């Protein structure tokens, strides 16, 4: 018996969870990088999961086709939604996308085909661990390349100042919509994979709590680059396991860690190296003003 293989099998659920969380965190990173706070990713994940699961479960579609269909369904819903909702900014945009997420949940509860509150059970377990990790690597690499491309720089310009970006000739609405649809597609993909990993889904999985959780992954990890959301998701998914010895105090400690990161590293864990620069700025500032 090899110990490594044993360990791997024992923790395969956790490993898969880390990768899907990281994919979801990357999906919200796209819009955050463009400076837009949207909270619809949990709903897009749900759309992807339900479409893919219904296709494999009821229509006996092959797994690959169902995955693709789930992803496209999420993107297809995101397109008209983004076109309507991107007239809004800031908190209003966040609330509107949140309302959309809740509407998706209510719709799933109301349509009989989705199994309503009981959800879907016995989804064929077609997804494997390497599928999720491969997706994460591919999506992470692709986004890292996009970040440094023309598109990525346009997103950064929109984030820093929308009006100035528009004046520079960047099609602000179009780039925002592109970020939104891309994020929705990634979330849909992650949802479809997740449904085929866990065999069972229900509407409660894709509600407000999940939306906030995805946002927290990315905010804790940091938006400046692609590694941030992956670190954040990995840390926050694995943390409950690492803190297991603390027993009942586990949630308290997890909350405390979150709080400290957000207060002292407001731009995320990946900006740890910049802390010293902030201190230096503090000294310069005091010397010059006093």
Q: Is 284 in the site for other proteins (CB under 8 A)?
A: yes
Q: Show the DSSP H helices in the chain as ranges.
A: 3-10, 12-33, 41-58, 63-85, 90-110, 129-147, 150-160, 162-167, 172-198, 208-221, 227-242, 250-264, 275-289
Q: Which two tokens stand for residue 177?
A: 């919509």
Calpha distance 229→190 (Å, rounded)? 14
**Which tokens is 17 given?**
């969870």
Q: Residues 119-138: x/- map of binding to other proteins (CB under 8 A)?
A: --------------------
Q: Does residue 160 belong to the site contacting other proteins (CB under 8 A)?
A: yes
Question: From residue 70 to residue 89, what is the string marking binding to other proteins with x (rule CB under 8 A)?
Answer: --------------xx-xx-
Q: Would you count residue 285 as binding other proteins (CB under 8 A)? A: yes
Q: How many residues bind other proteins (CB under 8 A)?
A: 36
Q: How far apart are CA 31 and CA 33, in angstroms?
A: 5
Q: Per-residue string for binding with other proteins, 190-229, x by CB under 8 A?
A: ------------------x---------------------
Q: Tokens at residue 246, please?
A: 């603390």
Mark 95-114 with x for binding to other proteins (rule: CB under 8 A) and - for no binding.
xx-xxx-xx-xxx-xx----
CA 53 vs. chain centroid, Å, equals 20
> Site residues (CB under 8 A) for other proteins?
84-85, 87-88, 90, 92, 95-96, 98-100, 102-103, 105-107, 109-110, 160-161, 163-164, 208, 259, 262-264, 266, 278, 281-282, 284-286, 288-289
């Amino acid at each position: 018996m090899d110990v490594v293989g044993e360990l791997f099998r024992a923790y395969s659920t956790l490993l898969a969870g880390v990768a899907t969380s990281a994919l979801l965190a990357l999906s919200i990173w796209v819009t955050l990088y463009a400076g837009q706070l949207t909270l619809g990713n949990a709903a897009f994940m749900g759309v992807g999961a339900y479409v893919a699961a219904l296709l494999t479960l009821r229509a006996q579609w092959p797994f690959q086709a169902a995955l693709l269909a789930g992803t496209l369904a999420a993107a297809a819903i995101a397109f008209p939604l983004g076109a309507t909702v991107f007239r809004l900014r800031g908190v209003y945009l966040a609330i509107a996308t949140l309302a959309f997420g809740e509407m998706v949940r209510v719709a799933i509860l109301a349509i009989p085909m989705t199994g309503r509150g009981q959800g879907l059970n016995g989804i064929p377990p077609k997804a494997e661990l390497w599928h999720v990790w491969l997706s994460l690597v591919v999506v992470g690499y692709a986004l890292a390349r996009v970040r440094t491309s023309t598109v990525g720089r346009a997103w950064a310009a929109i984030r820093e100042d929308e009006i100035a970006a528009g004046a520079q000739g960047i099609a602000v609405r179009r780039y925002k919509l592109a970020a939104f649809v891309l994020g929705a597609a990634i979330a849909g993909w992650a949802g479809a994979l997740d449904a085929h990993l866990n065999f069972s889904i229900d509407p409660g999985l894709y509600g407000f709590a999940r939306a906030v959780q995805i946002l927290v992954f990315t905010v804790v990890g940091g938006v400046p680059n692609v590694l941030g959301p992956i670190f954040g998701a990995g840390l926050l998914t694995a943390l409950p396991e690492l803190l297991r010895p603390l027993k009942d105090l586990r949630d308290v400690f997890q909350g405390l860690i979150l709080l400290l990161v957000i207060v002292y590293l407001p731009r995320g864990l990946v900006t740890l190296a910049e802390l010293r620069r902030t201190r230096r700025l503090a000294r310069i500032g005091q010397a010059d003003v006093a």
